[in-house]
Amino acid sequence: MTTDHGGRAAIYARISEDRQDGAGVARQIAECRELAAARGLDVVAVHQDNNISAYTGKDRPGFSALMADMAMGRVDVVLAWAVDRLARNTEDNERLLVAATKSKVRIITVQGGEADLETAGGKFVARFTALISSYESDIKAARISAAARQRATAGRPPGGIRKFGYSKDHRELDPVEAPALREAVEAILSGSSVRSQAARLNERGLFTPSRKRKSDGAERGRNLWQTTTLRNTLLSPAIAGLVSYKGELFPDVEAQWPAIITPSQHHALVALLTNPARRTNGRKGRGAKYLGSGLFKCGGQGCPDGRMVTSKQRRKNGHATVYVCKYSHSDHGPAGASHTGRNVELTDRTVREVIVARLEKGDIQQALARSKGQDTAELVTERDTVRQAMADLAEAVGAGAMTVAQMTAANAGLMARLEELNERLEAADTTGVLAQLDGVTSPRDYWDSADLERRRAVLDALVEVVILPVGRGLPAGPESIQFNWKV
């Protein structure tokens, strides 16, 4: 065997699907170290990508670091267990060959020996080897795709790592995670944000099933929920017991696993979370702390679009939090415009009383429905009619005008129609406010018990609040707040 005393070697190891907790990569590294010792090479770097395919084109941090070492002249030799550990698609293979040729780096593998990059014939062999690996990967991907589709059309549970809310085989609900995910869905449909629900799951210690890994492949704990990961989980039809494959639903196939949420909740979530007009708080990592932050408008003269933000200001008896126009101390606002400000506590109290009074009129469901179009308004009207019919049947039984059996038979059709109407309304309700206010009998208790996000969702759906200017030295009473009702 050729020896290369003093040569600097970088080891690269990779396995696309690790079922042995890093043992596969560890064995590759161990055999590469033996090869380095036999050839008299000094191992100056070890790069690895565990559980990452070299075929899909997904970023491989270890491979990128290896390419950087070659480009910077930090290594003379690259060691790998086999050529297909380095690359399984022609694009990455060509990058590797070009970098190795340019930097005069040799490539040696445990299985195949040294690649000849000095001659055209040697480069042809290297490229042809990569082509064969790419072909094999194409065949494997097609086989896996066909198997996954067959599994879906048979209604069998999805494969891969364990899904949040389910047991490892996906056939049973996790007694802690499933209720927590259902609560998150209900909260989001009622106006809460995905970000806040992700934070709450993390606070409860209910993390994602995926695992973080150290550079050597060893586990280092569970991943925290992020907005994107929770959103993707919520949009999955599987949690509603719906069978799908690559976005295609199979409505006639019965899922062989239990649902966490109802299909109607799933459709409502999809409508809500994919709605491009959906308002989200723009401040990264922070939710709004006050009712009107970013929602209330400045009513100053010449300030047509100023939103109110909060600021701490000094007062005679200490400091107070006030709403101020975002342009108050900015050079980006309208030239010559005046701006308004108002005490947060007093303003929020006034807004609360006005909204509660509006909710107590009892027509808010119909008003919201009308704002979404004639079809939605008709759905709400029919739903109210069906509910009243069911109540009339119950009264008839109580008065002895019909038997329980007769009421049950008559109710069956009404209940089916009610469920259908609710599903259609949930799908149409992209704000979640219609569902949130449905069945509210005490608006004041509802408002006081709702969290800030739900209050803001209701506020944003119902009314535009404008903080009007008042004369210097004059009290800012309720009349200095303008309510432009949207419904």
Task: State the CATH number of the domain containing residue 58.
Answer: 3.40.50.1390
Does some domain include residue 164? no
- 182 & 119 share domain: no
Give per-residue pLDDT as tens, 34-92: 999 999 999 999 998 876 654 455 678 888 899 899 889 999 999 988 877 887 677 78
Query: Cα(325)–Cα(289) distance, rounded to whole angstroms?
Result: 16
pLDDT at 333: 65
Query: Cβ distance 38 to 1 under 8 Å?
Result: yes
- 25 & 131 share domain: yes
pLDDT at 54: 44
Does some domain include residue 1? no
Query: Cβ distance 242 to 249 under 8 Å?
Result: yes
Domain boundary residue, one of 89, 121, 137: 137
Does some domain include residue 427? no
Does some domain include residue 269? yes
Helix (H), strand (E), coil (C) string for 227-272:
HHHHHHHHHCHHHHCCCEECCEECCCCCCCCCCCCCHHHHHHHHHH
pLDDT at 287: 60
- 107 & 184 share domain: no
**CATH number of the domain where residue 216 is located:** 3.90.1750.20
Q: Where are the alpha helices (DSSP H) in 174-240?
A: 177-189, 194-203, 227-235
Domain count, the chain: 2
Please give the residue range of the domain that contains residue 208: 177-273
Does some domain include residue 308? no
| pLDDT mean over 415-430 | 71
| DSSP secondary structure letter of residue 137 | H
- 130 & 247 share domain: no
Domain boundary residue, one of 227, 246, 273: 273
> Is residue 128 over pLDDT 60?
no
Strand, coil or helix: what is 88?
coil
| pLDDT mean over 270-275 | 82
- 189 & 253 share domain: yes
pLDDT at 352: 93
- 133 & 12 share domain: yes
Q: Which residues pair with 458 in a beta bridge?
A: none
Does some domain include residue 108? yes
> Is residue 153 over pLDDT 50?
yes
47 or 363: whose pLDDT is higher?
Answer: 47
pTM of the predicted model, to two decimals? Answer: 0.45
Query: Cβ distance 468 to 480 under 8 Å?
Result: yes
> Is residue 119 over pLDDT 70?
no
Query: Cβ distance 18 to 104 under 8 Å?
Result: no
- 181 & 121 share domain: no
- 68 & 184 share domain: no
Does some domain include residue 287? no
- 133 & 30 share domain: yes
Give per-residue pLDDT as tens, 161-183: 889 999 988 889 999 999 999 99
> Is residue 328 over pLDDT 70?
yes
% of the chain surpassing 90 pLDDT: 19
- 201 & 123 share domain: no
Query: Cα(221)–Cα(292) distance, rounded to whole angstroms?
Result: 39
